[in-house]
Amino acid sequence: MTITGTTTGTPIVEAHGLSKRFGKTQALDGLDLVAASGQVVAVLGPNGAGKTTFVRTIATLLRPDGGTLRVDGIDVTKDPEQVRRTIGLAGQYAAVEEAMTGRENLKMVARLFGHSRRSAAAAAGTVLDQLGLTDAGDRLVRTYSGGMRRRLDLGASMVGAPRLLLLDEPTTGLDPRSRIELWDAITAMVNNGTDVLLTTQYLEEADQLANQVVIIDHGKVIAQGTPAELKSQAGRDVIELHACNPAEIPQLATILAAVGVEDPRVDPSTRRITVPVDGGTAVLPTAVRAIDEAGLHVEDIAVRRPTLDEVFLTLTGEPVDEAA
């Protein structure tokens, strides 16, 4: 599968038939992906889909069992050294040293990338400023909030000015405000011309950050496209209601079936009924009116964005947790 980006030339990531097995688990199962340079690619998938394995393989931390993988045209198995000069990695943990200041952390990484003392200090200053951490720069990281640590970790991955930034679930575990701050920071990287490949479990995050979204499951690409394409394909808005009375569930389901584009899904244990719809907010009043006219009662009814589970259900025909 090919993702066309805004610039032509060597793809920044090019994987063909990539496979990796851990014991009984086939983490990557013939993954094919060609990502053009000049964009943000989001790799979206549930836990255990192979996202982290894919990133670790690109980062030369894992050696693939089969297939080929090139980063900016460089084969990761043949010339890992050169690949390491091309990438910056921010893993799932904020791998920053707590007993050092933010500035010291960045200077150390810059020095490892070969900067002189003076130029490492300058690069650390630039990055701190860029991430809004200048005031906290000379404090020990121990005193930082979770969001600040993640930002510093992002800074450490970019202080060597990599061509490709690899971010493995950059915002997992952050509060909404910190998440938005990190998104802003990532956007700034992109504006600066760095290619980014990030993994996420959140559809919203992929939507916010990426030009191209790749959905993977069981180590394979199952869908890809722009966020808009994927949403129109699989990410329809959902009307969700909770019935007051279990006896009314069948009637409510019939009403939702009339406004939805697929069969409604009923969860009897929570008395919840959901249905994907086209043009969510426009359809909601119709549904409410129909429920009212039929004299039925609901605890609540709302339109919401689809969850990743629902996208998966649509794309694969099976829910995330049962898809194993």
Query: Which residues of this chain interact with other proteins, rule CB under 8 A?
Result: 56, 59-63, 80-82, 84-85, 87-89, 91-95, 97-100, 104, 108-109, 111-115, 119, 123, 126-127, 129-132, 134-135, 140, 156-161, 166, 181, 184-185, 187-188, 191-193
Query: Whose Cβ is closer to other proteins: residue 40's or residue 311's?
Result: 40
Beta strands in the chain (DSSP E): 2-3, 13-22, 25-35, 40-44, 66-71, 74-75, 87-90, 164-168, 195-200, 212-217, 220-225, 237-243, 265-267, 272-277, 298-304
Query: Whose Cβ is closer to other proteins: residue 186's or residue 223's?
Result: 186
CB of 21 to other proteins, least distance (A): 11
Q: 140: which DSSP letter?
A: B
CB of 248 to other proteins, least distance (A): 49
Q: Which two tokens stand for residue 93?
A: 């943990």
Q: Which two tokens stand for residue 179?
A: 């998440």
- Count the residues in the chain: 324
Query: Whose Cβ is closer to other proteins: residue 6's or residue 191's?
Result: 191
* End-to-end CA, the chain: 24
CB of 272 to other proteins, least distance (A): 38
β-bridge partners, 273: 241, 266
Q: 310-320 in b/e burial notation, b at 16+ Cβ within 10 A?
A: bbbbbbbeeeb
Query: Whose Cβ is closer to other proteins: residue 27's or residue 308's?
Result: 27
CB of 214 to other proteins, least distance (A): 21
CB of 288 to other proteins, least distance (A): 41
Query: Whose Cβ is closer to other proteins: residue 144's or residue 312's?
Result: 144
CB of 149 to other proteins, least distance (A): 11
Query: Whose Cβ is closer to other proteins: residue 41's or residue 158's?
Result: 158
